[in-house]
Amino acid sequence: MEIDRKFCIAPMMNWTDRFCRYFFRLISQNALLYTEMMSTGAILYGDATRHLKMHIDEHPVALQLGGSVPSDLARACKIASSYNYAEINFNCGCPSSRVQNGQFGAALMKDASRTADCLSAMLDAVELPITIKHRLGVDDLDSYDFLRDFIGSISETGCKVFILHARKAWLTGISPKENRELPPLDYERVYQVKNDFPHLSIIINGGIANIEEASAHLRKTDGVMMGRAAYHNPYVLAGVDQLVFGSDRTIKTREQIADEFTQFVEEELANGVPLHAMTRHILGLFHGMRNGKRFRRYLTENACNANAQIGVLHEAISRVRTAIY
């Protein structure tokens, strides 16, 4: 199946779980969704089904995988391949100390040979597309020559899709949150990569806040990846299918999305899923609207109760409807 990566929603730790992805899919039918990063250890030695399962309506979804041992990555890919993912993405961009202790994430950019070995093992293990997400550089290894050589080396494995977070990473001295904000964005460097590697698919990530910005990047790259802007204000995705993918579907209202998500929540509550595990992802649905703060506050204060049921969500939505009508 051909994957259209013109618009992607980034893998976000502790956020893009299956409940979040189902919610995003209600807003956009075409965006490529990504899981949270999953380590090879979680899949090989943990509850693989719990980590990998997804609702059929989430597709297309890409799995992001973290690790640094080629044989473990190959085994994890084989296990994941039975869960109907559209692609498997290799994380070479996360700078957290926990990930560094596992010798993977952004630290792998310092060793292009090892990174290539990991990707080769993944490519050999499964028929799924294998892609890579990385930074512009790490620490003092942040010249364009370094980036060009890294991409050139990795592309020799047969990897054809590169997702570039348009910042470098500092491996020490600042937090993961600061690593998403303090290193300056350099979109021009990503554009130069596309010029130098026209045969590769280059997806740009970092600081993209709306569809207008995404459209501007699409004139110079093959795709865009939006992260936290979509999570905090998810209705920013409402026009993606029409403006990016050319769909003629009618854009759903926020209320329609809330009602459809409510039906999903009822099904999952019956399966024993706590209400808060699902509603925490929709707090920003009515961002910027009158009574949107009341919606968010009511869910925040009441969905966490151990016995919270669907009535909490109904009540939160009714507080917004009161403002609309």
| Domain, as residue range, for 271 | 254-324
20 classed as catalytic: no
pLDDT in tens, the chain (325 residues): 679 999 999 999 999 999 999 999 999 999 999 999 999 999 999 999 999 999 999 999 999 999 999 999 999 999 999 999 999 999 999 887 666 555 678 999 999 999 999 999 999 999 999 999 999 999 999 999 999 999 999 999 999 999 999 999 998 888 888 888 888 999 999 999 999 999 999 999 999 999 999 999 999 999 999 999 999 999 999 999 999 999 999 999 999 999 999 999 999 999 999 999 999 999 999 999 888 999 999 999 999 998 999 999 999 999 887 654 4
Mention every residue, 6+ apart, whose C-beta is less than 8 A from residue 47: none
Backbone φ and ψ of 213, nearest 5°: -65, -40
Tokens read off for 5? 């990566």
In a domain, 45, yes or no: yes
Question: Are both 236 and 259 inside the same structural domain?
Answer: no
Say how many C-beta atoms besides its own lie within 10 A of residue 231's C-beta.
20
Question: Are both 212 and 291 inside the same structural domain?
Answer: no
- For residue 132, the cross-strand partners are 90, 162
Are 78 and 110 a contacting pair, CB within 8 Å?
Answer: no
In a domain, 2, yes or no: no
Query: DSSP secondary-structure letter at 141?
Result: B
Q: What is the DSSP string of 206-221?
A: SS--SHHHHHHHHTTS
Q: How many domains does the chain have?
A: 2
Question: Are both 191 and 311 inside the same structural domain?
Answer: no
Question: Are both 78 and 227 inside the same structural domain?
Answer: yes
Question: Are both 292 and 194 inside the same structural domain?
Answer: no
Write down which residue in 213, 243, 273 finishes a domain. Answer: 243
Query: DSSP secondary-structure letter at 34?
Result: E
Torsion, Cα 309 310 316 319, to 10 degrees, reads -120
Q: How many helices (H) and strands (E) does the chain have?
A: 16, 8
Q: How far apart are CA 195 and CA 317, in angstroms?
A: 48
Distances (CA, A) of 150 to 32, 145, 153, 324: 25, 8, 5, 53
Question: Are both 108 and 149 inside the same structural domain?
Answer: yes
Catalytic hit among 8, 94, 118, 159:
94
Mention every residue, 6+ apart, whose C-beta is less than 8 A from residue 22: 55, 57, 58, 261, 264
Write down which residue in 211, 243, 275 finishes a domain. Answer: 243
